[in-house]
């Protein structure tokens, strides 16, 4: 199997490391023949080129690995590759989330595979197992910790008093964070992964901008100490349920009791969960971000193609479903500054509140996910650093 590798950053260099120094007979089947790099980067390997056509027009290359990131050029190259009857393996969740149905249809029309294992959960065999479960079960819900960078930040904040920006820098140095880490800490990366997982789980397309999303950018040590006093651990979660005529899907910080499985997921690890009607609850744990684990998932997809193993149960994106988060009801924690004019509004939906020198801390009565996100969007205009989290009791 001859590969054209698009991109040679963190994941691309991990793919090269595995393919150029194979440890197994299986990997020896795979040869990276050409590598596309950005204009302006130095050519340090004879296989490198700046020209996509050197790869698309190479008839020996049957599979493209796209790990360049971004959405515009990546979309063009993926479509060109599929139309040229090359299989495509990608770890690029943003481009998949925006063009999922088009990629699947183009692959089908050209009798090639479009494989995306590395796009969600890093090294965890999550997509493959969603598809396996679906051979037998209807999946009623999915949820999980899908972002290694946020988990690394939250875990470190809970462990010691380190500064948010310093921890984020370490996550970047370790190769966990996106090129623009806003995508991680604002929950956007988790939103892409939520959409991809939910579409596969429920055989449908969903609209990205209907997923209510709130990240961890504004979490402070004040929040963490409030949580610790109550025996809670905060994680960034994606959650989705199939309500048949519609789907709920949202991304938000969640406080778990400290002995919950989710609460004990360390460092850059992910924990992804599904519920099926005979398998019941099934959870997968592994490194969710980083060069080696993500490259491993990419190569697994290539090996499945090399072994002529079509997707175990091809991804079907039959119908479009609306997202509606007004049936999911929880208590929430809210922290805002003392002078906020909306304090009385929060009091009306709260069962308790506390005051420190600079902040109010509220626990709300049970309210819907759509309502809390709508409130927070309003309140953010006056207090951009307001923070909230769902409470699991």
Give residues in contact with ligand HSE (CB under 6 A): 122, 147-149, 176-178, 184, 189, 288-289
Query: In the structure encoding, which two tokens stand for residue 228, read together?
Result: 């610790």
Separation between Cα atoms, residue 186 and residue 337, nearest integer Å:
20
Shortest distance, position 148 Cβ to ligand HSE, whole Å: 4
Candidates 284, 282, 264; CA nearest to 140 is 282
Shortest distance, position 318 Cβ to ligand HSE, whole Å: 27
Separation between Cα atoms, residue 195 and residue 127, nearest integer Å:
12
Nearer to ligand HSE, 238 or 372 (CB): 238
Neighbours of 25 (CB within 10 A): 7
Query: In the structure encoding, which two tokens stand for residue 181, read together?
Result: 């880490």
Shortest distance, position 91 Cβ to ligand HSE, whole Å: 7
Residue 193 falls in the annotated catalytic set: yes
Query: In the structure encoding, which two tokens stand for residue 348, read together?
Result: 């009306």
Nearer to ligand HSE, 150 or 346 (CB): 150
Q: Which of 93, 193, 235, 291 is catalytic?
A: 193
Neighbours of 30 (CB within 10 A): 21
Shortest distance, position 89 Cβ to ligand HSE, whole Å: 15
Candidates 209, 248, 210; CA nearest to 327 is 248
Nearer to ligand HSE, 152 or 379 (CB): 152
Cα–Cα distance list, 264 to 61, 63, 74, 104, 148 (Å): 43, 38, 36, 36, 14
Nearer to ligand HSE, 14 or 148 (CB): 148
Contact 120, 96 (CB under 8 A): no
Cα atoms found within 13 Å of the Cα of residue 41, Cβ hemisphere only: 14
Neighbours of 338 (CB within 10 A): 11
Nearer to ligand HSE, 240 or 270 (CB): 270
Nearer to ligand HSE, 145 or 346 (CB): 145
Separation between Cα atoms, residue 285 and residue 293, nearest integer Å:
12
Shortest distance, position 178 Cβ to ligand HSE, whole Å: 5
Shortest distance, position 49 Cβ to ligand HSE, whole Å: 26
Contact 379, 337 (CB under 8 A): no
Residues taking part in catalysis: 193
């Amino acid at each position: 199997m001859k590969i054209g590798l698009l991109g040679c950053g963190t994941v691309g260099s991990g793919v090269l490391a595995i393919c150029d120094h194979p440890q197994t007979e299986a990997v020896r089947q795979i040869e990276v023949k050409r590598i596309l790099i950005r204009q302006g980067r130095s050519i340090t390997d004879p296989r490198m080129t700046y020209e996509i056509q050197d790869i698309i027009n190479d008839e020996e290359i049957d599979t493209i690995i796209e790990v360049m990131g971004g959405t515009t050029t990546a979309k063009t190259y993926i479509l060109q590759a599929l139309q040229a009857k090359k299989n495509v393996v990608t770890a690029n969740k943003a481009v998949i989330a925006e063009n999922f149905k088009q990629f699947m249809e183009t692959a089908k029309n050209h009798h090639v595979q479009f494989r995306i294992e590395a796009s969600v959960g890093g090294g965890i065999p999550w997509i493959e197992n969603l598809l396996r479960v679906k051979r037998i079960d209807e999946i009623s819900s999915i949820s999980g910790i899908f972002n290694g960078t946020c988990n690394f930040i939250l875990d470190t904040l809970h462990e010691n008093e380190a500064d948010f920006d310093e921890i984020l820098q370490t996550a970047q140095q370790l190769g966990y964070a996106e090129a623009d880490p806003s995508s991680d800490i604002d929950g956007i990366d988790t939103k892409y992964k939520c959409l991809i997982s939910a579409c596969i789980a429920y055989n449908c397309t969903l609209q990205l901008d209907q997923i209510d999303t709130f990240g961890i950018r504004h979490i402070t040590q004040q929040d963490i100490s409030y949580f610790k006093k109550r025996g809670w651990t905060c994680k960034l979660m994606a959650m989705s349920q199939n309500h048949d005529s519609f789907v709920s899907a949202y991304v938000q910080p969640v406080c778990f009791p400290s002995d919950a499985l989710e609460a004990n997921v360390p460092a850059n690890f992910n924990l992804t969960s599904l519920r099926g009607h005979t398998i019941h609850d099934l959870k997968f744990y592994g490194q969710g971000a980083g060069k080696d684990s993500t490259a491993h998932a990419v190569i697994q997809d290539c090996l499945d193609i090399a072994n002529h193993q079509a997707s175990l149960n091809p991804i079907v994106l039959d119908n479009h479903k609306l997202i509606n988060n007004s049936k999911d009801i929880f208590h929430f924690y809210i922290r805002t500054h003392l002078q906020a004019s909306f304090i009385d509004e929060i009091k009306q939906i709260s069962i308790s509140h506390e005051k420190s020198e600079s902040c109010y801390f509220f626990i709300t009565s049970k309210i819907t996910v759509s309502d809390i996100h709508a409130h927070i969007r309003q309140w953010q205009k006056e207090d951009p650093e307001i923070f909230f989290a769902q409470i699991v009791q």
